[in-house]
Structure 1
């Protein structure tokens, strides 16, 4: 890619990010708990003023009910680093206990700057490198870079609501880049960093595991494949103790951190989130009818069933395109079916969907717009409606103008040719109607726009105070189920002769890969 144009694209992306940062943040002037902005500030306060052994434990100085630390060690270390810088600028920002709920224009500038610096150091360079390696013309690479960096969901959550998702997603992207170029140990290390920054990166763990396992089968599990797996295993086993060293002093420390990372006692879901369980609860009160243990088991079984086909296919046929599709399918299965999902977790699906913008522009753009829309209730609560509307329109105009996604409705454009050919063996008339797909897209965007206007301008009836959040969750969940089916079809039929070919590959070639002649 041309350096000057790349710099202009990055500058434009940074400008949009910084413009969003002028809007309110989560919990602004809303005591007593404030919001995620206060959570991040509070973690700086705790990690700076307390010994590492007390970071995850309840105490007089560390009330876990007040934004107790519930992310892995790398998040804590990042908070500590930011805490040191904050103390050097103004000790009042991180003074133990007395700084709770601290708000000022200067502190907001500092906190917003920490997000931008993390983005510039980790996420944006990874996106630039990823796009530079695409098998496309320089113009197409620049278009991909622009579209990925302007994805509104990540911008609104990190620079509006306030989080550091670009750090964990950036590490995951570095892992994808490394693995795609055969630097498997380095890629595994990068993904370990992502997982040790945010535990939700478990959404991406199975595709990494299955892709590397499939590569080892190709090499011969009893020969070079074993050495390959050993190298990956040593890397992972070394990375985790490195990140967890201060917490390995005794078993109670380890278990306390794990309890904070996986709070199963919170129940199946909390807020209105666009997954299956929250949507079903409108008709069937799952949390009231089923016990907590049953809810946990049900979500686990459904999640595993959801990831099983794509993981098996990736293990049997570990291609780079399959790896990207499996990242989408696994993350979407976790989002739809797993336990205690937050609305912001859809960003873990959006990252690998961004990888597919060039290959499947219509469905990828449609998904990215829907994923941002699904977080609308959260954005309204934070006072980010105008930022949401502007960034969504900018993204829609850029993808429409540069990718012409609304015109890419052929079987080839949708990566559905193999699937359609297999169906036409039994139904000769079967085809994917492009005109119908465009109508569906138009209706979908119209519904999103209508619900956005209704949520902002209309007052729900007193008997249904959550009408619009529930409708937004249900509409988004319906879309996500459609995308889940679509991306699984694309992956399962990729380079196989339908599902029959997939199972033949699985049953016929595993023996050869396990025991090569």
Structure 2
């Protein structure tokens, strides 16, 4: 009990620490998004609902789904007691002291949704055994089961013994070592939970975007985390309904809708049924499998296909989702305003790229077009080429696509990219993840291990290939990935790369010299603590595994904590010590990063040196290459983002192949 109270105190201290930082940021720079949300407060408070998506007094028209509009309406009911002038639609640019304080504090207070979700997930991951549920590299470790007809499925629920089983196997060696291992595992679980709470509650990106730049990402990401917590806990219907509500707050989250659809269909509607390519084998071998399942969540009862239950759950899920969307969009459907609402929500006329390029695949694409547009008029005549005969008409200034204006920019040389093309690219990128999630094991452990990774990958795919993506959207992919980062070293490596590239890409949003020191300090502090904390977490896991391997000399071949030969690890205890020696010190926080990753991270120092010093110190560069700092930042950050995406898609492709060829869904 005293330990639980002490741990709760640690979470509270971190929450107070994060809130204190937010309070210190109140007087800092605020972007035009501050006026955007003030205008939305005025629209939802002063006008009837029939005019919410028609009002155009300000250029910052309402372009979020209805649930967020009602969120603004709820805030306006309090705002009218603070400063009624802020709720007048015609008061454009109104920013009195009371208005500023109210809007700043509204972000801080509503962040309680994020803090509560972070606490729930942090306590939840403390029970996960990352090394026993997956290999040291973060992948599932297939292992043959005992019993007739048993096959490897890669599921932690059947391939990995529980802590009690581990205890029994090790007790044949050293009872003291076993007791120490259990204690270390408990400490490691609590360490993971504290680190995760820090990664979520003190995220540098949210501090800079929400509490300096000004937005309400915290409350919406908090709702997403609650949905993921429900999924990991086996409450699949609740998870789906929370995600449906989230879609009606911000349609950016639509990128994860396919993953949620497959997850809910496979693990809620078809819960406990035998599905997939191994259906025939499972049916033929059903007679040799007996017993009852246990545990809540997907696949708790392997009872074969029951059409009636599938239909009932599909109807329940569909009715719940339709009810949420009906409450949200129903009034606008009855008023025949849906076309106008959809035009506001999906403004494809704004072009592929934002004024400042997001660090996705279109950043190097646009940079290549810019370089070609600048070089071809000079190089083509020397090569005897005529640009007009090649179908190229490069106008003066066509190379500049980072002028700081929100407008449709056309590529001068490379093919134009349409919204349909980006949508197709996103869907194709999601195929490996969706296929793997459908083919994957249907028991609770599979969803618990993979739902966060699937959702994070979906958002990252949307960020990489999406149309008119904002640089801030990387946070939606980053924060869910923190859950996986405290569980596996490979996810920790991805998180650190994505956090560095994604957060650095946010710095140009805060461009005033007054905030330069603040944004650099916030970013470096978060990244340093994250590296040290994650390095310490995974060092403890590896050392605990090493000690268990040495203690269980007599039953080493049965210990799930020993690396298998299929992973390229030696089974020698001495070799284990050599391999994991570098992770012993918690200060070696970059132990989860490879040399190439460390070299890439060091490159940010060079980028910052050019952007902040060299470019500003050389007048010729400022005059001839005004777009260079933003372009360099976007392109260099995109390298890290794309590297993480490629790494994740490779994992999903391998998992898909393994799932459809080797998985056999068994009944228990």
TM-score where L is the length of structure 1: 0.85
Give the structure 2 partner of residue 441 of structure 1.
Answer: 597
Compared with structure 1, are the counterparts of its residues 420 and 111 closer, same or farther at alpha carbon in structure 2 (3 Å cutoff)?
farther
Compared with structure 1, are the counterparts of its residues 71 and 154 closer, same or farther at alpha carbon in structure 2 (3 Å cutoff)?
same
Aligned ranges for residues 388-427 of structure 1 at < 5 Å?
Answer: 388-404=519-535, 421=566
Could you tell me how far apart the structure 2 residues matched to 1:373 and 1:408 are?
A: 27
Could you tell me how far apart the structure 2 residues matched to 1:254 and 1:89 are?
A: 34
Could you tell me how far apart the structure 2 residues matched to 1:385 and 1:237 are?
A: 47
| 2:283 matches 1:199 | no
CA offset digits 1:409-468 (Å, max 9, x no partner): 99999xxx99995899xxxxxx9x998954323322222233234323332432211111
Q: Is the Cα contact below 8 Å between 1:206 and 1:311 reproduced in 2? A: yes
Could you tell me how far apart the structure 1 residues matched to 2:95 and 2:51 are?
A: 26
TM-score where L is the length of structure 2: 0.67
| 2:474 matches 1:346 | yes
| 2:261 matches 1:209 | yes
Q: 1:233 aligns with which of 307, 318, 324?
A: 318
Compared with structure 1, are the counterparts of its residues 344 and 409 closer, same or farther at alpha carbon in structure 2 (3 Å cutoff)?
farther
Could you tell me how far apart the structure 2 residues matched to 1:142 and 1:453 are?
A: 34
Give the structure 1 partner of residue 661 of structure 2.
Answer: 504
| 2:44 matches 1:47 | yes
Give the structure 1 partner of residue 423 of structure 2.
Answer: 300
Give the structure 2 partner of residue 310 of structure 1.
Answer: 433
CA offset digits 1:302-353 (Å, max 9, x no partner): 1111111011111221622221111122111111112111111111111221
Give the structure 2 partner of residue 125 of structure 1.
Answer: 116
Give the structure 2 partner of residue 79 of structure 1.
Answer: 72
Compared with structure 1, are the counterparts of its residues 346 and 243 closer, same or farther at alpha carbon in structure 2 (3 Å cutoff)?
same
Q: Is the Cα contact below 8 Å between 2:114 and 2:201 reproduced in 1? A: no
Q: Which runs of 5+ in 1 are unaligned?
A: 27-34, 425-430
User: Quick check: 289-298 or 308-317, which moved more?
Assistant: 289-298
Q: Is the Cα contact below 8 Å between 1:24 and 1:382 reproduced in 2? A: no
| 2:461 matches 1:333 | yes
| 2:647 matches 1:486 | yes
Could you tell me how far apart the structure 2 residues matched to 1:382 and 1:248 are?
A: 48
Compared with structure 1, are the counterparts of its residues 25 and 351 closer, same or farther at alpha carbon in structure 2 (3 Å cutoff)?
same
Could you tell me how far apart the structure 1 residues matched to 2:416 and 2:622 are?
A: 35
Q: 1:14 aligns with which of 16, 19, 27?
A: 19
Query: Larger radius of gyration, structure 1 or 2?
Result: 2
| 2:213 matches 1:161 | yes
Deviation at 1:405, TM superposition (A): 6.4
User: Quick check: 254-263 or 460-469, which moved more?
Assistant: 460-469
User: Quick check: 357-366 or 200-209, which moved more?
Assistant: 357-366
Q: Is the Cα contact below 8 Å between 1:25 and 1:382 reproduced in 2? A: no
Give the structure 1 partner of residue 9 of structure 2.
Answer: 4
CA offset digits 1:354-395 (Å, max 9, x no partner): 112212323212221221111122122696432221112221
Q: Is the Cα contact below 8 Å between 2:83 and 2:98 reproduced in 1? A: no
Could you tell me how far apart the structure 1 residues matched to 2:564 and 2:51 are?
A: 55
Q: Is the Cα contact below 8 Å between 2:535 and 2:591 reproduced in 1? A: no
SS at match of 1:133: helix
Give the structure 1 partner of residue 366 of structure 2.
Answer: 281
Larger relative contact order (CA 8 Å, sep ≥ 6):
2
Could you say what the CA RMSD is over the residues aligned between the two structures, in angstroms?
Answer: 3.2
SS at match of 2:111: helix
Aligned ranges for residues 160-179 of structure 1 at < 5 Å?
Answer: 160-179=212-231
| 2:94 matches 1:102 | yes
Give the structure 1 partner of residue 630 of structure 2.
Answer: 469
Q: Is the Cα contact below 8 Å between 1:151 and 1:368 reproduced in 2? A: no
User: Quick check: 392-401 or 88-97, which moved more?
Assistant: 392-401
Aligned ranges for residues 182-197 of structure 1 at < 5 Å?
Answer: 182-197=234-249
Q: Which runs of 5+ in 2 are unaligned?
A: 129-188, 274-304, 371-408, 546-561, 570-578, 583-589
Compared with structure 1, are the counterparts of its residues 5 and 313 closer, same or farther at alpha carbon in structure 2 (3 Å cutoff)?
same
Q: Is the Cα contact below 8 Å between 1:168 and 1:201 reproduced in 2? A: no
Give the structure 2 partner of residue 250 of structure 1.
Answer: 335
Could you tell me how far apart the structure 2 residues matched to 1:435 and 1:63 are?
A: 55
User: Quick check: 14-23 or 323-332, which moved more?
Assistant: 14-23
SS at match of 1:442: helix
Q: How many residues align?
A: 482
